[in-house]
Amino acid sequence: MADTVVAPVPDFKRYLAEFIGTLALVLIGCASITASGFGGAFPNSILSIGLAFGLTVTAMAYGLGSFSGAHLNPAVSVAMWVAGRMTLKDAISYTIAQCIGALVGAGILLLLLKSKTGGYDHVTQGLGQTGWKDYPMWAALIAEFIGTLLFILVILHVTGERGASLVAGLIIGLTLAVLHLAFINISGNSLNPARSLGPAVFVGGTAIKQLWLFLVVPTVAGAVAGWLVRTKILDH
């Protein structure tokens, strides 16, 4: 998940990489909740779900990072723009590619689930969407803000203006996995507007009503993280 690339890469390849990477993140991560059945086995399944999301980020970082930096997350792209590491045009284009990828990933997952013997009702059984139920909205808001802020500060510091270290992708993926242990029962631990958008569009109902939080709060947290680094408050 580097924020810079070694050699110039055509725009369409960078945007395609973001599309594919986010598609994979939503498909694999949400499949661990639905197709694999971990979603109904809390708390023992939280580590499995966290690793599904975290290790997918790690795989995409090493597989696609040389093309686009493998942000896979609009909040990360916003942070990179605020930190001065990418242009506004690229941040917008990355976000569009990520959101489309998330929608396609969720759509593929839905198609697979519908093929299950006996069928699958995604409205009642879910599609791995994020949301809050056992905790109040303000708790989900705090969890998403703090979780995203910490996650993106790690990303900004292990990548850096000089490029990512060889272990950056692993560190970022494990950070995402660990944050699931803390926040998945509070908010679903989205930390990523695209990740929440994809499943919510297909599930509708409460998922759509609560979607605003997962679009706004991680984006704001990403902007704050980028500002903290750009102003050198939390940078060398």
Residues 61-98 have pLDDT tens digits of 999 999 999 999 999 999 999 999 999 999 999 999 99
For the chain, list the domains and their CATH numbers. 11-230 (1.20.1080.10)
pLDDT tens figures, 23-74: 999 999 999 999 987 776 667 789 999 999 999 999 999 999 999 999 999 9
Enumerate the H helices of the chain as residue ranges.
11-33, 46-68, 74-82, 88-114, 122-125, 137-159, 168-187, 193-203, 206-209, 211-230
Is residue 4 pLDDT above 90, yes or no?
Answer: no
Question: pTM score, two decimals?
Answer: 0.92
Query: For tokens 């590619």, what's the residue?
Result: 97
Q: How confident is the model at residue 161 (pLDDT cuts 50, 70, 90)?
A: low
